[in-house]
Chains A and B, each alone.
Chain A
Amino acid sequence: MHSKTPRLDDIHGIPARARKMNPLNVGPNERVVSAALGGGLVAWGIWRRGALGLLAGAVGGALVHRGVRGYCPAYAAFGISSRKAPKPTPMPLLETEKLTRIERTVTVARPAAEVYAFLRDPSHVPHFAPHVEGVEDLGEGRIRVWTVLNGERSSWEAHIDLDHEARAIVLGHAEGPPERLAILLGDAPGGRGTEIRLVLELSKTRGLLLRALAAVAGADPDAWAHAGLRRLKMLLEAGEIVTAGVWGHHPARPGGAPDRQPTGSPPAGSSP
């Protein structure tokens, strides 16, 4: 059976190319109405013929296009949108890919726009992601992630796909199995802030992402995800990652990630 990598677009039901070229700014209901109305106008135009028919056909065509594509140039010109950022829904998992999926969610009492702005700045990542020392922006949607574990530094390259509208960040890589790391933001109800969902799709056949993660997460990506989100929440809400420090004759906290305040300088060449 031919299998296809689930893409970010499938998560949100957004046609990929349409979004790449022009961001969606027409809400789903309006898209249906627009397409239906446009279709009607076109049909009427064909029946009516003449100059008026031609005009109706053109307007109808534009409306159909707007409905199908979900993009309205007039809305764009005025910077408006009738589309709410969709709630992230679980990603379809393709059995044939032998992927393990790990999902962790945390609610942060900050607005989604602020959370997204924080997350899309690669220089912030080392402050909360355990063992990540730096993220280098290579341009053209590629990044290099530097990790350090037990003093040993390594790096791996990934595609990064930012969806400003849906407030989603997806990492994947070119070679190997279709693994992904996705961060999806949704509004928590009642003004409680933002639900941040971290989704890891890791190849059981040990793709690059899993190997990279295994290196940093001590083969426990779930604990890594959990700790990372918790630290992210502390940073966004409280403005620091609280620590009990090392005192008395305690060596350091056992097992867990070493307490590290965001002070480490990123490796040479990484973006500031």
Chain B
Amino acid sequence: MQALCYQGVNRVGVETVPDPELLGPHDAILRVTMSSVCGSDLHLLDGYVPTMRHGDIIGHEFIGEVIEVATEVKKIRPGMRVVVDSIIGCGHCFFCQSEQYSLCDNTNPEPEFTDKLYGYPTAGIYGYSHAFGGFAGSHATYVRVPFADTNAFEVPEGLPDERVLFASDALPTGYMGADLCNIQPGDVVAVWGCGGVGQMAILSAYLLGAERVIAIDRFPERLAMARDRAGAEILDYEQVDVREALREMTGGRGPDACIDCVGMEAHGTGIDYAYDRVKQAVRLETDRPTVLRQAILACRKGGTVSIMGVYGGFVDKFPMGAAMNKGLTLKMGQQHGQRYIPRLLEHIRKGELDPSYLITHRARLADGQQAYDTFKEKRDGCMRVVFTPEA
């Protein structure tokens, strides 16, 4: 089959690879009908996540048709259209049982790396480096889905792929970001980053009862989408002092909750940004916490900072004093999508959520390099590029 593979820092290309096979008794094989780029891929491609190897198939946000299931798969049947969570759960360990699927004990076949770096290994993720299991990604004609009954969800009849695709990753991530904020009536929520994840966080915060959502980014098209499609008030961090603006917009209180939907490669304007770039370039720190620092300082006393943007290693100048003395609650994690997907599909079915506006570009796998370049540079109003893999 054809697959889009990592070929070095910011280099991808289509390769012909063997078709996936059923390897475990709970596996399913899908024919991928749509597979999206995600901000997380950029961290991999930019070389900030080690353990990527030449030839690794990338992609983790996908939807497809089941063509084959192994003996122990009960719920998922061939012919079903399913959306699959980007992070793999086994469904049976302590963490899966408590709906913290991304912490699964049993789905990372290469746990040594995260065991050392994080203290304990975390779950496997499709196309997301060998530290996260070395699973083949979804930018391919076919993809193998382990523990299909836990990780694949049947698409309700009548819903097109476009509306459901992001229930794989961006939507549950944004939803979890808002869910972790424990939103109360009257709450003002600030969301950093208006990419796919940020957009979904805005919509979700409203669904969960936020009074107002303020979205922060610098790309005009993205800010416009946050305003027009998701209903947020918007701030361009290149035009205003974000902390000042947030304080003024919230009657001097500060946002009740802040959601970081940017992560380790935040862009910035000040001297601290230059400092982080240099330190990251020489690997004295691995992640640039520009947004994280800002969110902690901007958040009201006793508020919640929810971190959905991905961090991989170490950050510098973390404002621990502010977090501690203001009594903040910090919540974070890779998404536990399996917990949310059923209710999200229900919202989509009822027309209460429609993430399909994230699709600004479509491409063939063969145009993968160009697609990722456009996405990385946010050229041409690009929000998300969706591949329709060729047979």
Contact = CB atoms under 8 A, between A and B. Distances in A.
A and B associate: yes
19 contacts: A234-B90, A234-B106, A238-B93, A238-B147, A239-B92, A240-B24, A242-B88, A242-B107, A245-B144, A247-B18, A247-B20, A248-B3, A248-B15, A250-B55, A250-B56, A253-B134, A256-B112, A259-B109, A261-B23
**Size class of the B contact interface (CB-based, 8 Å):** 35 or more
Interface in A82-126: 107, 109
B94 A192 contact: yes
B57 A243 contact: no
A28 interface: no
Interface of B: 3, 5, 15, 17-18, 20-21, 23-26, 53, 55-57, 72, 88, 90-94, 97, 105-112, 124, 130, 133-136, 144, 146-147
B20 A243 contact: no
Contacts of A237: 90, 92-93, 105-106
B128 to A, nearest CB: 11
Nearest to B150: A238
A244 B133 contact: yes
Interface in A216-269: 230, 233-234, 237-245, 247-250, 253, 256, 259, 261
A193 interface: yes
Contacts of A253: 109-110, 130, 134
Contact of B106 (A238, A245, A250): A238
Contacts of A244: 109-110, 124, 133-136
B20 A245 contact: yes
Nearest to A110: B92
A210 to B, nearest CB: 23
Nearest to A240: B24
B94 A109 contact: yes
A18 to B, nearest CB: 37
Interface string A127-153: 000000000000000000000000000
B94 A193 contact: yes
Contacts of B124: 242, 244
A238 B53 contact: no
B109 A243 contact: yes
Nearest first, the 4 A-B pairs at minimum CB distance are: A238-B90, A248-B55, A244-B134, A240-B24
A193 B21 CA distance: 33
Nearest to A247: B136
Contacts of A249: 15, 17, 55
A240 to B, nearest CB: 4
Contacts of B136: 244-245, 247-248
Contact of B109 (A109, A239, A242, A248): A242
A239 B72 contact: yes
A240 B97 contact: no
Nearest to B56: A248
B251 to A, nearest CB: 44
A109 B111 CA distance: 19
Contacts of A233: 93, 105-106
A250 B6 CA distance: 12
Given A240-B25, A243-B109, A248-B5, 7 more contacts: A239-B26, A242-B107, A242-B109, A244-B110, A248-B3, A250-B56, A256-B112
